[in-house]
Amino acid sequence: MNLQQLEYSLTLEKLGSFTRAAQALNMTQPALSLQIKNLENEIGISLFDRSRSRIEPTEQGLKFLLKAGEIVRAGKQLKEYAITLGSEYGGELKLGIIPTLSPYLVPLFLDPLLNQYPELSLEIHELLTEEILQKIRLGDLDGGIISTPIARQGITITPLFYESFYMYHNNEEGRDAKSLKVSNLDLKHLWLLEEGNCFRDQVSDICSLKNEKTNTRISYHCSSIDSLIRMVDNQGGTTILPELTTLSLDAEQEQNLILLEEKVREVGFVTRKLTGKEHLFEVLNGKIRSSVPAPMREKKGREVVDPGILEAWR
């Protein structure tokens, strides 16, 4: 068994096809099949189920590949660590950020971070939570900024800050209200993000929407909070906003905000254990925390809403 065979196996798991994996690895398909078969013979288990159109790991194979991924990443991290010895805060960070955070958070910390650490480079991908977690597991990302807490094997979480929830409306009569209990929300004309977004799940949770019907004449599927704001501005009704998005509203729009009491969204940094880049994560997280308003750095006894992320990898 060698690292190269492990890398071959991980590539096959990722691409689900001997043909595509062989092309990605710049080798022939028979050569790849032989290397995988030799590895399986040596360890005494079948890593992949070859009976389906897409190659998938067996139950035992998935467990083996999880450990194999850790070993391969450790080898790469050792090389990266050697490079950073000459420049303590140099190198590259590949990050994933969920869409309800990315356009509002990244502009706050990007320049301060890169100005202070000129030898550091960032590659940022706007992705859904499950995509971020999967890419962290496969080693395609170093870390991610998502809504936490979560329970996921091999993942470490560093809480960064806490966002209040705000109701956003376009009703002149409601402009005097500054705060509101969730139980008093009017849900009949509530605009929501598309299903599959963890922020929608959180809104559904705090508003108890499982059996509620909202606006029935228009079915609007979107993944952008800015789109929801514009729908309220033009069509009326209400939506729920996380706190960072409210920082970009103009003075007139700010009058349409009503703080929802009692609950907050926790935002955290997630990564694999022992990546070799912990010193870079530390400066990144420090810049993120310092870039948000000070009151957002503490939850102040409020309840953290569950983002609804399942524990299993698959």
Label residues 47-80 b or e (16+ Cβ within 10 Å = b): bbeeeeeebebbeebeebbeebbbebbeeebeeb
Neighbours of 224 (CB within 10 A): 14
- Answer whether 289's CB lies under 8 Å from 160's CB: yes
Q: Counting beta carbons within 10 angstroms of the beta carbon of residue 152, is it exposed (0 to 12), middle (13 to 18) or buried (19 or more)?
A: middle
Cα 5 from Cα 8, distance rounded (Å): 5
Domains in the chain, start-ordered, CATH in brackets?
3-81 (1.10.10.10), 88-158+270-302 (3.40.190.10), 162-264 (3.40.190.10)
User: The whole model's pTM is what?
Assistant: 0.69
Of all helices (H) and strands (E), which one includes residue 37? Answer: helix 29-43
Q: Do 285 and 269 form a contact (C-beta atoms < 8 A)?
A: yes
Stated as kind and residue range, the H or E segment containing 210 is: none
pLDDT in tens, the chain (314 residues): 888 899 999 999 999 999 999 999 999 999 999 999 999 999 999 999 988 888 999 999 999 999 898 888 888 777 766 655 555 677 789 999 999 999 999 999 999 999 988 888 999 999 999 999 989 988 889 999 999 998 877 789 999 999 999 988 887 655 666 777 766 666 667 887 776 677 777 777 766 654 455 554 555 667 788 888 898 888 888 888 999 999 999 998 998 898 988 889 999 999 988 777 888 899 999 999 999 999 999 988 888 988 877 654 43
Using the 8-state DSSP alphabet, how is residue 120 labeled?
E
The b-or-e profile of 250-280 (16+ CB within 10 A means b, else e) is eeeeeebbbebeebbbbbbbbbbeebbbeeb
The 8-class DSSP code of residue 248 comes to T
With CA atoms as reference, report the closest residue to 211 among 187, 232, 235: 187
Rg (CA), the chain: 23
Q: Which of 307, 266, 287, 270 is nearest to 96 (CA)?
A: 270
